[in-house]
Structure formats: C-alpha cells, structure tokens
Amino acid sequence: MRLPVRRPGRLAAEAAALLIAAAVAFPLYWMVLSALKPSGEIQSTHPRPWTLSPSLDSFRRVFQQQDFGRYFLNSLLVAGTVVVASALIAFLAATAVTRFRFRFRTTLLIMFLVAQMVPVEALTIPLFFLMRDFGQLNTLGSLILPHLAFSLPFAIWMLRGFVRAVPEALEEAAYIDGASRTRFLWQILFPLVLPGLVATSVFSFISTWNDFLFAKSFLISDTSQSTLPMALLVFFKPDENDWGGIMAASTVMTVPVLVFFVLVQRRLVSGLGGAVKD
C-alpha cells in the first residue's frame, strides 16, 4: 500500500499533515494555556500564545469549589458503571444475534439499528416523567439507566463483527471437549472479543462522561448528585465569565477522557476497522 511517492511530494504531504495536526491540537493547547495563565493575562485584549508566569490559581478555584471532588467522583461512578454494564449486556446480546439463528433475529437487528437513530434529547421529556414516577429524580440512577440503555444499540451493532470473527470451528471444538455453553461464552468467547469490547466502551464512556442534558434535566435540586458538566457551568456568569476557571474545569474534565483514549488507542483503530469490515 505504501506506493512509491516522489520525495518532494511526500515532503509536502508531511508538512501539510504537521500543519493540520498543529491546527487541530491548537484549541486544546489554548485551553491548557489559558487554564495556567494568571488572571491578568487572560483578561488581556492582546492574548499571547505563551505565558511566562504560569499559575495554578484557576485550578485552585476549580478544586475549591464546593463539592467539586464529589462531582468528579459522581461522573466517574456513572461513566464507569455504564461502561462495564453496557459491555457485558451488549456482549451477551451480540452473541445471541450472531451465533444463533432464531425467529425475529433480523427484526431485532433492524430494531437495534433503528434504536441508534432515536434522538435521545427528544426523549428527555418522557424520561423526565418516568424518572419522577420511579422516584429516581436527583439520583445518579437517573443518569446511569438511560445512558446504559442508549449505549446498548450501538455497542451491540459494533460487537457483532467481533463475535462473528471468532471461527465457528472453535465453538464446535469446545463443545466436543465437553464445555458447556456458559463456559464457552465466558472462558473462550469473552477473552477473544475483549479488544472489540474495549473499542466499543470508548463510545459509551464518552457519551456518558459528556452528558450534560440529562444531568441538567434530572438532577434539579440535589446538587450533591451533580456531575462535572454542571460544575463547569458554574463559572459562566451572566455579567463576566470566569474564563480561567472555565478553562481549568474544562481541562480537568477532558484529561480522563484523553487518558482513556490513549490507553485504548491502538485497539480503537483496529476495532473500528474490524467492526466496519464485517
């Protein structure tokens, strides 16, 4: 695939790639930079792309905000629960629709596809009433349950490719050797599909971690149950935005996702290739 490209052409392509990379990374650089700038420099009308006197004041303001640590833990708890539960449930469902032939299988598959298209935001209204009727308003459950449900269709759809890639001969060999269905499922199939599960969990992690609509709509009065996006909004003030605080809080919120991404990066690329190749 690496075709012979003449040198000047490749150098130009590489220069372009580096320029684009710089442009794409710039907003993130500016976010961290602004978080580190002392407040006088942020308010300057002649912003410089560097700072000579970095300060942690903005971060201090963020962490001293009441209950910030709690918001962070809440966010982590919600996202963690959704990622683990959705991976397990989606794995079971994907196994069912790829390794078995049964009535309504195709119908189910189409429904999983259609379910991905549902505008989640439009469902905020009925979900609000549902959570109210079950006494889940102002609890973390009101975030976990909907996110779990909404991450499932895409996860199932993506995992199918991975489950299908495990050769059927392996399954038959396992049964011949006397393995039960459950044993095959958890001790053979599960480890083999794990890379796919990792790739899939990126999506459920991001959508849950980023959520701000459900948090805004379902956690109305009990701020001890709030999540990070809400903490970010505190710094938006009608008269004067505290940009240093906003950028510091944004940095704090972005870092866990970045870490997660870097960890699964390799699997993600091969995972996406596997999922769409199927």
Partner 1 sequence: MTANSTAYKARPTPAPATRPRRRPASPARRPGWTPWLYLLPALVLLGGLLVYPIYQLGLISFLEYTQAQVSGGEPATFQGFGNYSALFGDSQFWQVLSATVVFAAACVLATLLVGCALAVLLTRIRAVPRLALMLAALGAWATPAITGSTVWVFLFDADFGPVNRVLGLGDHSWTYGRYSAFALVLLEVLWCSFPFVMVTVYAGIRAIPTEVLEAAALDGASQWRIWRSVTAPMLRPILTVVTIQSVIWDFKVFTQIYVMTNGGGIAGQNLVLNVYAYQKAFASSQYGLGSAIGVVMLLILLAVTLVYLRLVRRQGEEL
In the region spanning residues 20 to 39, those forming contacts with partner 1, defined by CB under 8 A, are 20-22, 24-25, 27-28, 30-31, 34
What mask, x for binding partner 1 by CB under 8 A, covers residues 201 to 240? -----x--xx-xx---x-----------x--x--------
Options 59, 68, 214, 260; binder of partner 1; rule CB under 8 A = 260
The Cα 85–Cα 266 span in angstroms is: 23
Out of 36, 62, 83, 90, the only residue in the binding site for partner 1 (CB under 8 A) is 90
Q: Least CB distance from residue 254 to partner 1, whole Å?
A: 5
Neighbouring C-beta atoms of residue 277, cutoff 10 Å: 8
Does 247 bind partner 1 (CB under 8 A)? Our answer is yes
CB 196 within 8 A of CB 275: yes
- Is residue 168 close enough to count as binding partner 1 by CB under 8 A? yes
Q: Burial of 238 by CB count in 10 Å (0-12 exposed, 13-18 middle, 19+ buried)?
A: exposed
Helix or strand or coil: residue 222? Answer: coil
Give the number of C-alpha atoms closer than 13 A to the C-alpha of residue 239, restricted to the C-beta side: 0
Which spans in the chain are helix H?
7-36, 39-42, 57-64, 68-99, 105-117, 124-133, 141-165, 168-176, 181-183, 190-210, 213-218, 228-233, 243-277
The amino acid sitting at 99 is R
Query: Binding of partner 1 at residue 52 (CB under 8 A)?
Result: no
Please report whether residue 46 would count as binding partner 1 according to CB under 8 A.
yes
For position 266 contacting partner 1 by CB under 8 A, the verdict is no
Tell which one of 60, 110, 135, 186 touches partner 1 (CB under 8 A).
110
262: tokens are: 């870097």
Rule CB under 8 A: is residue 81 a binding residue for partner 1? no
Q: Cα separation of 46 and 264, whole Å?
A: 39
With respect to partner 1, which residue has the nearer C-beta, 197 or 246? Answer: 246
Residue 100 contacts partner 1 per CB under 8 A: yes
Among 13, 56, 73, 170, binds partner 1 (CB under 8 A): 13
Options 54-62, 64-72, 144-152, 186-194: segment touching partner 1 (CB under 8 A): 144-152
Smallest gap, in angstroms, from Cβ of residue 226 to partner 1? Answer: 14
Residue 165 binds partner 1 (CB under 8 A): no
